[in-house]
Structure 1
Amino acid sequence: MSKRLRSSEVCADCSGPDPSWASVNRGTFICDECCSVHRSLGRHISQVRHLKHTPWPPTLLQMVETLYNNGANSIWEHSLLDPASIMSGRRKANPQDKVHPNKAEFIRAKYQMLAFVHRLPCRDDDSVTAKDLSKQLHSSVRTGNLETCLRLLSLGAQANFFHPEKGNTPLHVASKAGQILQAELLAVYGADPGTQDSSGKTPADYARQGGHHELAERLVEIQYELTDRLAFYLCGRKPDHKNGQHFIIPQMADSSLDLSELAKAAKKKLQSLSNHLFEELAMDVYDEVDRRETDAVWLATQNHSTLVTETTVVPFLPVNPEYSSTRNQGRQKLARFNAHEFATLVIDILSDAKRRQQGSPLSSSKDNVELILKTINNQHSIESQDNDQPDYDSVASDEDTDLEAAASKANRQKSLDSDLSDGPVTVQEFMEVKNALVASEAKIQQLMKVNNNLSDELRIMQKKASRLEKQNSTPESDYDNTPNDVDPDDPGSSRKGRQRSVLWQGDGSVPDIAEAHTVPSPILPSTEDVIRKTEQITKNIQELLRAAQENKHDSYIPCSERIHIAVTEMAALFPKKPKSDMVRTSLRLLTSSAYRLQSECKKTLLGDSGPSADIQLVTQQVIQCAYDIAKAAKQLVTITTKENNN
């Protein structure tokens, strides 16, 4: 008993006292600071719940307590328990360590990289190893030894493994043996309670046959966990599965508003998704519900007088590397939905989940979600787009704000019944917003990668340029060989940039690079000039990124001004009406993105968007604008290099 009390009072990651959160799939208790890192990793790495302020199925909490009290943490810190690890300098975090980078780096290594987990001897055939581990799991779940099964799962055993000789899965075996905590652990790792054995029996059938009625009822709850969680999020109630009620779907008080042709067409598109794609969308919405609910608990349990940026909310779903970039982007855009938009999406999913389970026929069948998304995209394109383009571009489109405004206007007059505080949007509007709004940590990572790649390319090009300009001996003159070039450090150039910046802000429009009265010119600036200006832009973007990552929001405006000046100077290198379509397109993206960046950064001022402005959303838009600028600058470097070498 003393061991249980002592271990339950210590954070598994830093040994801090009184942990108030649990990582369900890791079987550990963690403190607030370590939990903030767990949340940023995503549910595919760590599923966190507050021990007191989150509703718990009793047996799920009992499962986590049993794992932790029986040393489950040693699974994730196996090699750290080896005395040799002390000699190698490896150690776990301690309570006095800073969250970033100390605790964060340790937690990522521990759970994301599995750096300290016991490794099996290398074998040529990994599938054989996984099969062997899964067979061991299949046998072990009949016992109460949870930590053994968790260790097997950590090594790669599959929770849904179908034993070819036995004709069933580990969940069938655990259910037959009445091992309810094993069933909870398997379900956390993805075991499907609806799976049938070779005779057509489910795990719940096994439990009933063995007289384990509590387990049988819990298995039914697990089977409907996704839709139950969505319903509870909307109205605070769950279905009565014992009496055959498996779905609760809140009704819309103003359902007459939802009968437009567009609304009907949108619902048909949602219904036309294949079961696989519908399940993916439903799981993504489930994860977003979890994020929102956990955020609410997080904010309610923190001391706001000492709340720091290191342990703030998670503004969108973290990237899951196992998912496609399209799906990750879609998942992150869910965070942009306001309450009534998101509630309506949840209702639509609940309705269609019920329809699918009952086997209602479809009016039409299209299994390609890409086609559906493209159809909606093309309805709202301002400029014609190629149908082969990906649904989610690598950068934000210029019509984002128009789509957002249109979706917002369409949703303004709708409402739900008393179960909900806001009104609904249609699936059509959901798809519009989903395709229009770009958010996220993924963009930060993409932008950093682009900047790193760009810096590497610039260094290579600089070396080439240096060899071409051997006759110039001083560093200042290495790239100063054209009358168009303007030194960024020259006061005159700064004045020119600022004057043009003021002009842009004054008339509220983006200057058109290709003026109608100007004759198209095939002449391009030298590669060296473009490289130098791009370097200046890149340097300023990196400064803006650092400000975003460190939450220095007051630095946004001065950073955006410096980027704007650098962009203006780079645009001035090119003829007013370049002959090349690619150059015109890149210049337009460059200058319009710089203008949009300034507009977004101005929103950090209280007078511009009010004290209630969502700084997280502003930051996301700032990052995407910076990404557009970096992409355009890189394109111009590539184009001028290619043209000047021909």
Structure 2
Amino acid sequence: MSKRLRSSEVCADCSGPDPSWASVNRGTFICDECCSVHRSLGRHISQVRHLKHTPWPPTLLQMVETLYNNGANSIWEHSLLDPASLISGRRKANPQDKVHPNKAEFIRAKYQMLAFVHRLPCRDDDSVTAKDLSKQLHSSVRTGNLETCLRLLSLGAQANFFHPEKGNTPLHVASKAGQILQAELLAVYGADPGTQDASGKTPVDYARQGGHHELAERLVEIQYELTDRLAFYLCGRKPDHKNGQHFIIPQMADSSLDLSELAKAAKKKLQSLSNHLFEELAMDVYDEVDRRETDAVWLATQNHSTLVTETTVVPFLPVNPEYSSTRNQGRQKLARFNAHEFATLVIDILSDAKRRQQGSPLSSSKDNVELILKTINKQHSGESQDNDQPDYDSVASDEDTDLEATASQAHRQKSLDSDLSDGPVTVQEFMEVKNALVASEAKIQQLMKVNNNLSDELRIMQKKASRLEKQNSTPESDYDNTPNDRDPDDLGSSRKGRQRSTVWQSDGSGPDAAEPHAAPSPVFPSTEDVIRKTEQITKNIQELLRAAQENKHDSYIPCSERIHVAVTEMAALFPKKPRSDMVRTSLRLLTSSAYRLQSECKKTLPGNPGPPTDIQLVTQQVIQCAYDIAKAAKQLVTITTKENNN
């Protein structure tokens, strides 16, 4: 950070003390709880970075600090500052409010709906208004008044607006004036440093011409931000742009064995994408890299003794309504790639980005895109796809197993090398960077406190339930949660249910697709029965976390099996078609997380293909699955207690 945060600074959304995150494009600082809501909105709404544990370009952080200190938050809360808002009952969230629904609803209204932003008078032609705003932006960026430009951008001014009379863009103007913070703000809102003006000059040219060397270097970094971020994700280094090196590409070097025809076809399809579709795919992968890295920071910085709450990680990229449904599905499928599959995709995108920029013809290289990439490539090449295909599959299918086996086999035929313009990227360096993102032993110890905390809550609830003595006889349940007894349609609806339950729980998702005509059952199990099963689940989770802490990886599978049995027994307490949407979504999260846990634990088997260092990445996924199970169990206890007390 360019300066330490002052203790007087508060969360822009709830006024809580000591905010530790920033929303870059909103110019605000936010607390952990509010950040969890921001992340679920997606980067197209809010781009979050941790203030201390995320690397920052100094001038980007300075830009956010300047906006925050100059009242940028009033842009997003304009109408709330009106005394009339108090009379109408409209107010912002406060630190004591619950995350859901209070803080979440306020944050969505504030940033997604822009409910409190100052509205311009209605005009018949919106394009004229946008043009006027963009012209104002064009003239404002020559000054240091950042909040004025942010206000114009919030109202619809275009960062890439090409002024018809001046013959240039706002970024050209800011660069000529040496306004580096304005350039940062414009770039956050999509301004392109490579755009040429009427004279054929770029903003970089004007910055150099004016002697603004720091700005010129920063604009070059912004121009290569996408590929730089992907390279840094893989090997922890960025290209030396000052010396003309613009790409670092850890390439997959093939061995003497031939690649399969399907793998060659996948690589060829990636190369044959139009520049537009290739750019879309690259941007989607960039967003997934951001999600994975922010997840790692999120898990490493939370108070895990109270982790089983309403805040959680974001399991896949949130939906962007501006994108097609097939593109959103493709984006969400990126979360299913394991570390090696995803690294392969990143490497191939870097390679092809370099080839396209340099205008090189398609090479005859044997570099391979893993077989699993063909799913993503179909999304972006316009091929037809079943719209009912689940967005996020948390349950391993036979097809997934075959794909993973093929990908692992292909991976064994490869070794990491690097672009000749940079030193070699060794396997050791690669894994050191990857392992740095994995939870530390301290994190595992903290996660174990989750179960202690939950057990304490369960004991309190059990005492209350005993005093109430409001136990009804529970009929034999037909809630079936075993994968072997489900038909494919049922399994698909369960996968969709997990997606809805983990991201859009407050949406009140529609009826279950498996049996649309089945009558929902009003019967609830007794609170004592649910607490008893939850205690069994949390005890087994504690054993699993202890095994993770002590590196007893051979204990993962038996622990996961015991957890699965306990989850099955708990789910069986509930009717197959519960009346409550919350019960249905909690049950889906519970059972699908248990299946996913088993799938992850099986990767520790001695005969499982893949390098042994992968165990660290598996452990991270195992911990996350255990967390999801504990969270779902707590939700079911809370819901059941509430219903039986009514």
Structure-2 change in CA distance of 1:508 and 1:165 (3 Å): closer
Alpha carbons 2:174, 2:180 under 8 Å: kept: yes
Cα distance, 1:148–1:332 mapped onto 2, change above 3 Å: same
3-state SS of paired residue (1:185): helix
TM-superposed deviation, 1:326: 0.8
The more displaced of 443-452 and 618-627 is: 443-452
Question: Alpha carbons of 1:323 and 1:521: their partners in 2 closer, same or farther (altered >3 Å)?
Answer: closer
CA distance in structure 2 between the aligned counterparts of 1:643 and 1:10, rounded to whole angstroms:
37
- The alpha-carbon deviation at position 211 of structure 1 amounts to 1.4
CA contact (8 A) 1:319 1:442 kept: no
What secondary structure, in the 3-state scheme, does the structure 2 residue paired with 1:29 have? strand
**Per-residue displacement from partner, 1:230-251 (whole Å, max 9, x unpaired)?**
1111111111111100001114
CA shift, 1:19, in A, is 0.6
Report the CA distance shift for 1:255/1:610 in structure 2 as closer, same or farther (over 3 A): closer
Normalising by the residue count of structure 1, what TM-score does the alignment of the two structures yield?
0.63
Cα displacement string for residues 596-640 of structure 1 (whole angstroms, at most 9, x for unaligned residues):
999999999999999999999999999999999999999999999
Shift of 1:91: 0.7
Moved more, 178-187 or 200-209: 200-209
Shift in Å, 1:82:
0.4
CA contact (8 A) 2:305 2:450 kept: no
CA–CA separation in structure 2 for the residues paired with 1:176 and 1:126: 30
- In 2, the alpha carbon distance for the partners of 1:191 and 1:496 equals 36
Q: Which moved more, 1:602-611 or 1:65-74?
A: 602-611
Q: Which whole-Å deviations, capped at 9, do the CAs of 1:406-456 have from their partners, x for residues lacking one?
A: 445554665535999999999999999999999999999999999999999
SS at match of 1:415: strand
Distance 2:456 2:256 in 1: 58
After superposing the two structures, state which structure 1 stretch, 354-363 or 146-155, moved more.
354-363
Q: CA deviation at 1:311?
A: 2.2
Answer whether contact 2:38 2:48 (CA < 8 A) is retained: yes
Cα deviations across residues 217-270 of structure 1 (Å, max 9, x unaligned)?
Answer: 110010000011111111111111111000011144655557555443332211
Aligned mates of 1:287, 1:44 — CA distance in 2: 10
Note closer, same or farther for the CA distance 1:432–1:506 as it changes in structure 2 (3 Å cut).
farther
Q: How far apart, CA to CA, are the structure 2 residues paired with 1:301 and 1:549?
A: 18
Q: 1:207 to 1:562 in 2, by over 3 A?
A: closer
The aligned counterpart of 1:256 is 256
Distance 1:294 1:491 in 2: 30
Deviation sequence 1:108-136 (CA, Å, 0-9, x none): 11111111111111111111111111111
> Which sits farther off after the overlay, 568-577 or 368-377?
568-577
1:407–1:601 distance in 2 versus 1, CA, 3 Å: closer
Q: CA deviation at 1:171?
A: 0.3
Larger displacement relative to structure 2 (285-294 or 593-602): 593-602
Retained in 1: the 8 A contact 2:15–2:94? yes
Q: Please tell me the root mean square deviation across aligned C-alpha atoms, in Å.
A: 13.1
**Contact 1:345/1:430 (8 A) holds in 2:** no
Change (3 A) 1:440 1:521: farther
How has the CA–CA distance of structure 1 residues 642 and 78 changed in structure 2, closer, same or farther, with 3 Å as cutoff? closer
**Conserved? CA contact 2:304–2:449, under 8 Å:** no
Partners of 2:168 and 2:514 in 1: CA distance? 68
Contact 2:348–2:369 (Cα < 8 Å) also in 1: no
Please report how far the alpha carbon of residue 585 of structure 1 lies from its aligned counterpart in structure 2 after TM superposition.
26
Contact 2:262–2:371 (CA under 8 A) maintained in structure 1: no
Task: Spell out structure 1 runs of 4+ moving beyond 6 A.
Answer: 1-7, 363-398, 418-646
In the superposition, the TM-score normalised over structure 2's length comes to: 0.63
Equivalent-residue separation in structure 2 for 1:25 and 1:436 (angstroms): 27
How far does residue 272 in structure 1 lie from its aligned partner after superposition? Answer: 0.5
Partner deviation per Cα, 1:361-391 (whole Å, 9 max, x = no partner): 2479999999999899999999999999999
- Structure 1 unaligned regions, length at least 5: none
Contact 1:411–1:424 (8 Å) recurs in 2: no
For the residues of structure 2 that align with 1:484 and 1:371, how far apart are their CA atoms?
27
CA 1:202/1:156 → structure 2, altered by over 3 Å: closer, same or farther?
Answer: same
Q: Secondary structure at the match of 1:49?
A: strand
Q: Following the alignment from structure 2 to structure 1, what is the Cα–Cα distance between the partners of residues 11 and 519? A: 70
**Quick check: 467-476 or 9-18, which moved more?**
467-476
Greater alpha carbon shift after TM alignment, 571-580 vs 385-394: 571-580
Instruction: Specify whether residues 97 and 490 from structure 1 end up closer, same or farther in structure 2 by C-alpha distance, changes over 3 A only.
Output: closer
Asked if 2 retains the 8 angstrom alpha-carbon contact of 1:299 and 1:313, the reply is: yes
Task: Give the whole-Å Cα distance in 1 for the aligned partners of 2:357 and 2:499.
Answer: 64
- 1:355 and 1:570, CA in 2 relative to 1: closer, same or farther beyond 3 A? same
| Equivalent in the alignment of 2:561 | 561
CA distance, structure 2, for counterparts of residue 580 and residue 310 of structure 1: 18
Question: Relative to 1, partners in 2 of residues 1:595 and 1:57: Cα closer, same or farther, differing over 3 Å?
Answer: closer
Residue 337 of structure 1 and its aligned partner are, at CA, apart by 1.0
Partner of 2:134: 134
Identity of aligned residues (%): 96
Q: For the structure 1 residues 363 and 98, does the alpha-carbon distance in structure 2 shift closer, same or farther, using more than 3 Å as the test?
A: same
* Higher RCO (CA 8 Å, separation ≥ 6 residues): 2
- CA distance in 2 between counterparts of 1:515 and 1:271 reads 43
Deviation digits for residues 33-82 of structure 1, max 9, x if unmatched? 11111111111111011111111101000000000000000000001000
Residues 390 and 496 of structure 2 are in contact (CA less than 8 Å); yes or no, is this contact kept in structure 1? no
